[in-house]
Amino acid sequence: MDCLFCRIAAGAVPVPALYQDEQVYAFLDIAPQAPVHFLVIPKLHVQSLAHTAREHTALLGHMLAVAAELAAREGLLDGFRTVINSGEDGGQTIDHLHLHVLGGRPMGWPPG
Ligand code: AMP
Ligand code: ZN
């Protein structure tokens, strides 16, 4: 399959892991939008959040729990933002589900 994030999760593209286990891979975003910006992705290819169903409940919960753990590990003690862009209107550019974690500055609202 020609999916960049599948290749990253499989270790076929040398992107250092912040964390990985059987289910997820986390790594720094290549174009950070904040002082700390990393992604948590499932190793399973799922196109977007819109392509998940109840069978993915445990995986989605695990992605969030890992995001919180890594946010603390990366020193985001004053807070952070989690974002999942879904589909064209959601601004998704990589068609493999990914959770953004951004922090290290006040993130503001609404997002720019
Ligand atoms: P989205 O716009 O929500 O689909 O986010 C895709 C994200 O993937 C963007 O923030 C990109 O900067 C990031 N990205 C694309 N290619 C890479 C890569 N090779 N390594 C790390 N992050 C990447
Ligand atoms: Zn994929």
> Residue 61: inside a domain, yes or no?
yes
> Residue 112: inside a domain, yes or no?
no
Is 98 among the residues known to form the active site? yes
Torsion of the alpha carbons at 109, 31, 96 and 107, rounded to the nearest 10: -10
> Residue 108: inside a domain, yes or no?
no
> Residue 33: inside a domain, yes or no?
yes
> Residue 68: inside a domain, yes or no?
yes
Is the CB of residue 95 below 6 angstroms from any atom belonging to ligand 1? no
pLDDT value at position 1? 67
Count of domains observed in the chain: 1
Is the CB of residue 101 below 6 angstroms from any atom belonging to ligand 1? no
* Ligand 1: nearest atom to the Cα of 95: 4
How much is the pTM? 0.97
pLDDT digits (tens, 9 = 90+) for 70-89: 999 999 999 999 999 999 99
Expressed as residue numbers, the domain containing 77 is: 4-103
CATH number for the domain spanning 35: value is 3.30.428.10
> Residue 109: inside a domain, yes or no?
no
Residue 63 predicted with pLDDT over 70: yes
Quick check: 42 and 78 in contact, CB under 8 A? no
> Residue 80: inside a domain, yes or no?
yes
Exactly one of 37, 96, 98, 100 is catalytic; name it: 98
**46 Cα to the center of ligand 2, angstroms:** 6
Which one of the ligands is nearest to 98 CA? 1
Q: What's the average model confidence in pLDDT over 94-110?
A: 96
Is the CB of residue 85 below 6 angstroms from any atom belonging to ligand 1? yes
SS3 28: strand
> Residue 111: inside a domain, yes or no?
no
Query: How many C-beta atoms lie closer than 10 Å to residue 20's C-beta?
Result: 16
